[in-house]
Amino acid sequence: MAGGCFWCTEAIFKRLKGVEDVIPGYAGGTRENPTYDQIHGGATGHAESIQITFDPKVISFEKLLKVFFKLHDPTTKDRQGNDVGPQYRSVIFCHDEKQKEIAEMLIKDLEDSGVYTEPIVTEVVPYTAFYPAEPEHREFYERNPNSPYCMFVIDPKITKLYKEFGEDTKKEEEI
């Protein structure tokens, strides 16, 4: 899935019980093995994404999507906060028809609930390929906790995760 900066989404999802691995990378574009610089140049069509490996006996795909929708703004096209461009768009890359049905049902439920005043623009598309990001992007939050981006953008999202989904989160030593 893609919900803005992959540093944020990696830091959030790796804190959930049942999530075994989170890899930042690129999906949804046209070039094989793109680089960070290439996707930010806009020529490849990729979004900053994460690939999540999870145990469905511990956490469901639907719960992952609920966290996804709660911790980013699915109503802004090609943007999350100050991060602007198609590489920051909101996308769910579905591996099968069941995931697509769950994603579309959840979007419909959210739209019907009135939680968001603007329409949800999250794309729901078939998974085609995922390319891991360069090593310096992996575990960025853990390696750079004092960077301004981590303190002002990621920390509030993690605080919100613990507040909204505390029972679903790992203990700090399990991360």
Mind giving me the DSSP string for the chain?
-EES-HHHHHHHHTTBTTEEEEEEEEESSSSSS--HHHHHTTSS--EEEEEEEE-TTTS-HHHHHHHHHHSS-TTSTTEETTEESGGG-EEEEESSHHHHHHHHHHHHHHHHHT--SS----EEEE---EEEPPGGGTTHHHH-TTSHHIIIIIHHHHHHHHHHHGGGBPPGGG-
**Position 175 confidence tier, pLDDT thresholds 50, 70, 90:** confident
- Annotated catalytic sites, by residue? 5
Percent of the chain residues past pLDDT 90, beyond the cut: 91
Category of 112 on φ-ψ map: left (φ > 0), alpha (ψ -120 to 50) or beta: alpha
Q: What's the N-to-C CA distance of the chain in angstroms?
A: 20
User: pLDDT tens-digit profile of 135-165?
Assistant: 999 999 999 999 999 999 999 999 999 999 9
Q: Decide if pLDDT at 101 tops 90.
A: yes
Mean pLDDT over all residues of the chain? 95
pTM summary value: 0.94
Could you identify the residue written with the tokens 């310096």? 136
